[in-house]
Structure 1
């Protein structure tokens, strides 16, 4: 049964760094065939070629999910333009999204279902922690 193909794209070296970190935590199995494209500073002829090749390579008939660091930024826009068939796009590439992705069955879920499951997990992972004020120190005279 074909699986949804996954391409990550991000500025600088963020896509490969996040993928490496996630593989380090959850192993290769759930993320083995995920392709990371590091865009450097943005769109170039080289990026166009790498995006087209990656998107074509991961498309095995079940669709493609492209996870980008920022929707509308040049790496994401390049991926959308270079795709043979329009991919489902999830923006906000993060470590938490990749950990969730590693646990999902890409042979039974559509690209959109995968994206929605990752978004739900990422939302739950967001938090703001404000420490309680430290108790006042007693002074001795």
Structure 2
């Protein structure tokens, strides 16, 4: 594969989201909405009320995932623990840990795994081509 094609394949997942992010910022406010939607609370389904004020509905997912003792709770406690190492202020540390984990580490891991998968696919394709030649 040509070097320019490889560079494009590896750089696109980084450049495209950054470009989209910057274009949304450059568009100015408001882009699509003029205010946060306000809807009344409905007992049968979630509305913007749930988003703006917290959801009073019973969770559809099992409590092992959504409860304080489940995955969600452990994630929040882990972020607070990491945040306490990053900053003395609880809110700043939690926010920093949240950004670090979900905006840097997790996407970075996914990018590395994507690069490994692309390289393996190209290696298998080259091996198959050598076998046919």
Task: Establish whether TM, by shorter chain, passes 0.5.
Answer: no
Kindly indicate which of the two structures has a greater share of residues assigned to strand: 1
Kindly indicate which of the two structures has a greater share of residues assigned to helix: 2
Larger radius of gyration: 2
Normalised to the residue count of structure 1, the TM-score between the two structures is: 0.27
Normalised to the residue count of structure 2, the TM-score between the two structures is: 0.28
